[in-house]
Amino acid sequence: MNPIHIVTEKDNIADLVLLPGDPLRAKYIAENYLENAKLINEVRNMFGYTGTYKGKRITVIGSGMGIPSVAIYAYELYKFYNVNKIIRIGSAGAFNKDVKVTDIVLGKDAYSDSNFVYAIKKRNEKLIKSSNTLNEKILNKSKELNIPVYYGTIYTSEVFDVYHNIDHLKDNIPKNIKPLASEMEAFGLFHIADLLNKKATCLVTISDSKFEDNKDLTSEERQNALNKMIILALESITS
């Protein structure tokens, strides 16, 4: 079997990968942070690039939105290209009033009501841990670089909860689980990593919050917040 969605020579992809949802974010990272970046995938306009960051080879490629999309790209990277470590980087909504817009959240685990895990593992699981190894590197680098992060559970939704109220799902979350942020991919990524005995975690920047009124970021503010997350991810995965 050959990969369908990422089509390139195996040697063109590094074993360390940053996985933003937006392929144009991958392009931005390659152009602004990587040296000698080379376009290695453009199937379905899901741009991927490989270059070096401080001498270490790294690939950055888009994953699209939602569990099914990130699962396809993560599976192909792990299975066909021998990728070992993936850090998803993206945006998220605040799930807790203490987490503010522009804050960065690192997912120690992900909770979801998705049927995805039953489909691929025939098990009913709603919580899955991310890689302790990657998380420790990120937490250490965050202190070293003075880039604060919140560390806790990420809620992975199958609907964009800015448009659709999901309080009926939130009410079903066990009381001992207190998600910090809401996004749409981490749960799927973590399960694919677990399935293939690989490493994955997720860093997200809070881009919106129902707990804050009139908190619309300018494009410059949004970019600066995302840049901090990008730098933290690059420094961590290559350390």
Kindly report the three-state secondary structure assignment for every residue of 29-45.
HHHHHCEEEEEEECHHH
| Number of separate helices (H) and strands (E) present in the chain | 7, 10
Catalytic residue among 167, 208, 213, 216: 208
d(CA 211, CA 160): 17
d(CA 123, CA 2): 27
Q: Tell me which residue of 16, 14, 15, 12 sits closest to 237, measured CA to CA.
A: 16
208 is catalytic: yes
Query: Beta partners for 181?
Result: 94, 154
Which residues are catalytic, by number?
A: 208
